[in-house]
């Protein structure tokens, strides 16, 4: 059954794109919105529009029996498209599975707002949670794709600003290397049904806007010092060109003495977890992510012996 599910999703993601020059930003955003609108969002949640820091956010809560704990979520979309709404299948399932609430941040997007706008918004959101009285040991950073990268770099920025670390990081198929030096960019070419090197470089250039990619905040998988980081869970699929971003960050985390779980699922694409409800591997991966979050937040928030 799972093989058939994976084949259907692969075919969906390989739907032909228009020939000719690259799509406009507006067309890319509309296409991504349409794709993600097909994802299944669980019923047992409530959503409310709010603000966090000085940016809009989507507050996602369980319908009943909420638990202490906050997921600060960063959506994917190559820094150029996406929104808290496009990530609702992910935030919704995590909230339903953990009982924690989530704030999904509507950070500024390129090309209108290139680097470091998104990173500044993410750090501001974390400061806002801390300033509201939330204990950092009850907060986890979670994100997918570009947002997975943001979960990592927000932790870098928080540490460098002298802020307390969150309880945990979970990153789904994170983008962690703006230098595009991972081997899987080439070895997974054609196997990945969604991304090509050219497509990544097109949107990446909008975000960089001339910035040097050789810096930790843009390429943590190859340049960041992860000393002092909280436990991390990195999930990726073998069918994605960004696979090496996760494997290399996991190696850097281990070298820095950080607890890290590298969770690789065979024959699934980029951010396969979004297909919860139609792909068995997606449901299973989100179960593992939810277990990790409940373990880390419970452990971190527990009184010292």
**Residue where the block lists tokens 């939810």:** 290
> Of these residues, 240, 246, 281, 300, which one is catalytic?
240
In whole angstroms, what is the distance from residue 105 CA to residue 55 CA?
7
300 is catalytic: no
61 is catalytic: no
Which residues lie below 8 Å from residue 176, measured CB to CB, with a gap of 6+?
Answer: 148, 149, 152, 219, 220, 221, 242, 245, 246, 248, 249
Q: Quote the tokens at residue 293.
A: 């979050």
In whole angstroms, what is the distance from residue 172 CA to residue 233 CA?
8
> Of these residues, 83, 89, 145, 246, which one is catalytic?
145
Complete DSSP assignment for 17-85:
PPSSSPPPHHHHHHHHHHHHTTS---SSEEEEEEEETTEEEEEEEESS---S-EEEEE--STTTS--TT
Phi-psi region at 64: left, alpha or beta (left = phi > 0; alpha = psi -120 to 50): beta
Phi, psi of 243 (to 5 degrees): -55, -40
Phi, psi of 237 (to 5 degrees): -115, 155
132 is catalytic: no
> Of these residues, 89, 120, 270, 300, which one is catalytic?
270
In whole angstroms, what is the distance from residue 58 CA to residue 47 CA?
7
In whole angstroms, what is the distance from residue 203 CA to residue 224 CA?
22
DSSP state of 242: T
* Catalytic residue IDs: 145, 240, 270
């Amino acid at each position: 059954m799972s093989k058939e599910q994976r084949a259907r999703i692969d075919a969906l993601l390989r739907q032909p794109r228009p020939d000719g020059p690259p799509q406009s930003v507006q067309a890319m955003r509309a296409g991504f919105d349409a794709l993600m609108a097909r994802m299944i969002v669980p019923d047992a949640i409530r959503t409310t529009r709010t603000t966090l820091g000085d940016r809009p956010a989507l507050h996602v809560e369980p319908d009943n029996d909420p638990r202490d704990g906050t997921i600060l979520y960063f959506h994917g979309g190559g820094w150029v498209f996406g929104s808290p709404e496009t990530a609702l299948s992910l935030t919704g399932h995590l909230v339903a599975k953990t009982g924690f609430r989530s704030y999904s941040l509507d950070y500024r997007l390129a090309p209108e707002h290139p680097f470091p706008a998104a990173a500044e918004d993410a750090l501001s959101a974390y400061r806002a949670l801390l300033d509201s009285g939330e204990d950092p040991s009850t907060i986890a950073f979670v994100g997918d794709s570009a947002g997975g990268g943001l979960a990592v770099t927000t932790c870098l920025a928080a540490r460098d600003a002298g802020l307390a670390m969150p309880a945990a990081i979970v990153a789904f198929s994170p983008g962690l290397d703006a230098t595009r030096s991972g081997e899987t960019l080439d070895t997974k070419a054609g196997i990945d049904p969604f991304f090509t090197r050219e497509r990544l470089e097109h949107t990446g250039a909008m975000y960089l806007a001339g910035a040097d990619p050789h810096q930790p905040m843009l390429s943590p998988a190859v340049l960041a010092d992860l000393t002092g980081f909280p436990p991390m869970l990195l999930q990726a699929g073998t069918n994605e060109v960004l696979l090496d971003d996760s494997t290399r960050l996991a190696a850097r985390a281990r070298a820095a003495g950080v607890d890290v779980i590298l969770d690789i699922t065979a024959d699934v694409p980029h951010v396969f977890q979004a297909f919860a409800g139609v792909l068995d591997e997606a449901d299973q991966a989100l179960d593992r992510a939810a277990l990790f979050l409940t373990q880390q937040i419970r452990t971190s928030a527990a009184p010292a012996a």
